[in-house]
Chain A
């Protein structure tokens, strides 16, 4: 089955700086890569996603890049703000010919220092 590795487990950055979180996956059949933000006591919130026929996607301060050959993808947050503090999860899904569940990385605790 799929295995997703995520680094770092904790990331502390100054407000206004950029943050980068990296993930690798093992299953070359995986074709959908979402990122979730989860605040304490809340649901995982989909913040951006990318499919394997796209190399990069951007939404305001958030961008995701995908390297299919190397099987890794990254989340980039620019101009970080205090409200960006949360746990971020990457995930991967294989088509499997139909709907497939997500395999998650272990999460990155992002701390924005004022």
Chain B
């Protein structure tokens, strides 16, 4: 099973709202990721969690706050977003091979976020 699930599918929020995106995988993967994808562009890495610890933050503004409650779940908390943050937010997971890198990164269906 190579299934990564994300909720909600669509989200519309105002600039003063607080909301959360959720991601779940049951493949036993120990690396999980958040990416942002704008229309007609490739995904851009935001955060990497390895063994439930934040290992990479690609200089993402603090209005995006990731959380990894356990090895199967990944959240992205959103607060005081701007209209330019509207995008498809993709979660992914992969096997982590320790010092040898990763293999098999699988994406969820994404959350389509609109900030008004």
Number of residues of chain A lying within 8 A (CB) of chain B: 27
* A32→B97 CA distance, assembly (Å): 12
Let me know if B56 is at the binding interface, CB within 8 A: yes
Inter-chain contacts of B94 with A (CB < 8 A) = 99
* CB-based contact B100/A95 at 8 Å: yes
* CB-based contact A103/B45 at 8 Å: yes
Let me know if A97 is at the binding interface, CB within 8 A: yes
* A70→B66 CA distance, assembly (Å): 37
Let me know if B104 is at the binding interface, CB within 8 A: yes
* CB-based contact B105/A34 at 8 Å: yes
* CB-based contact B33/A43 at 8 Å: no
Q: Which B residues have a C-beta under 8 Å from some C-beta of A? A: 2, 30-31, 33, 35, 40-45, 48-50, 55-56, 58, 90, 94, 96-110
Q: Which A residues have a C-beta under 8 Å from some C-beta of B? A: 31-32, 34, 36, 42-46, 49, 51, 89, 93-107
